[in-house]
Amino acid sequence: MTEQLNIGIVGAAGWLGRAFASSIIDAGVAAPESLALSYRSKKPDLLPEAAWVTDNQELFDRSDVVIISVRPHDLGSIKMLTSGKLIISVMAGVTLQSLAQQFKTQRVVRALPNGAAEVRRSYTPWAAADGITSEDRDTVLRILEACGTADEVSTEADIDYLTGLTGSGPAFPALLAAAMMNDAVSRGIKRSVARRAVNAVLVGTGRLVERRSECPSDIVETFMEYRGTTAAALDTMRAAGFETAVRSGLEAAFQKSVSMGQSS
């Protein structure tokens, strides 16, 4: 049996912090009583067996690994004597250098999960500083894969780009779903029916893409070859600039990630 860890989560009252805590317990990475979870004002009504604290130094002292899950502009307010413990940041844009300077350690990792961590389906790219050991890497993977799948990437530029592609990722199909649902409702379809129909399309598509070996573009072309209703819709969407809009959105997310790192 793999040894369980003492894990601290700074910002555990937030959406992502809560998702990490629940995932870590469900995956057996840590027991509830081995978690130290910090909050600012109101203690969340969940995980009563965990140690809920307002003092981040107390959280650190209890932990082998500390996950930093706060907004990037709040990084400067986190004061802890870290003594070289393993730090995993899930803050967008904050560089490894900034993390190493803030926490006075080279055992830092920059990861970027997404909101699908709540349902254990996040995709999380991560990059490590030079001070990370092979044992640290195993620990990082255990924690991140509790929330879904994870890949170590070679550069922080990859993380900055993937901040938009995968970190923001669930928002993109959600935006498409909202547009489809709104159109259906505007044409007289009951909202409850429209919601079930659109949700079924997105969930079914996700499973189809996951299980088939083709690239998504190959699946698109398979539909195009029929030259029926799907092809008519796709031709019109492309002509309206769908792919250009996606590229522009991803570029904007990339530039935002870079600027957030410069201001942190």
Main-chain dihedrals φ then ψ at residue 66, nearest 5 degrees = -120, 125
Residue 2 has pLDDT above 70, yes or no: no
Q: How far apart (Å, rounded) are the C-alpha atoms in residues 153 and 42?
A: 37
Q: How many CB atoms lie within 10 A of CB 40?
A: 12
pLDDT tens across 99-120, in order? 999 998 999 999 999 888 989 9
Q: Residue 247 is inside which H or E element, if any?
A: helix 242-263
pLDDT of amino acid 5: 87
Q: Which residue has the higher pLDDT, 260 or 66?
A: 66
Distances (CA, A) of 241 to 182, 235, 246, 257, 260: 20, 10, 9, 24, 28
The 10s digit of each residue's pLDDT in 170-184 is 899 999 999 999 999
Give the pLDDT confidence of 183-231 residue by residue, as tens digits: 999 999 999 999 999 999 999 998 888 888 788 899 899 889 989 999 9
Give all domains of the chain, ordered by start, each with its CATH number: 7-154 (3.40.50.720), 171-262 (1.10.3730.10)
- pLDDT grade, residue 1 (50/70/90)? very low
Whole-number pLDDT of residue 41? 82
The per-residue pLDDT for range 25-56, each reduced to its tens digit, is 999 999 999 999 999 888 888 899 999 999 99
Q: How confident is the model over 128-154, as pLDDT tens digits?
A: 999 999 999 999 999 999 999 999 999
Whether the per-residue pLDDT at 238 is higher than 80: the answer is: yes
Q: What are the C-alpha distances in Å from 70 to residues 21, 73, 233? A: 14, 8, 41
Tell me: pLDDT of 261 over 70. no
Judge whether 51 and 60 are in contact, CB under 8 Å: no
pLDDT digits (tens, 9 = 90+) for 155-169: 999 999 998 899 887
Q: How does strand 86-89 pair with strand 108-111? A: parallel
SS3 215: coil
Question: Residue 140: its pLDDT value, please?
Answer: 97
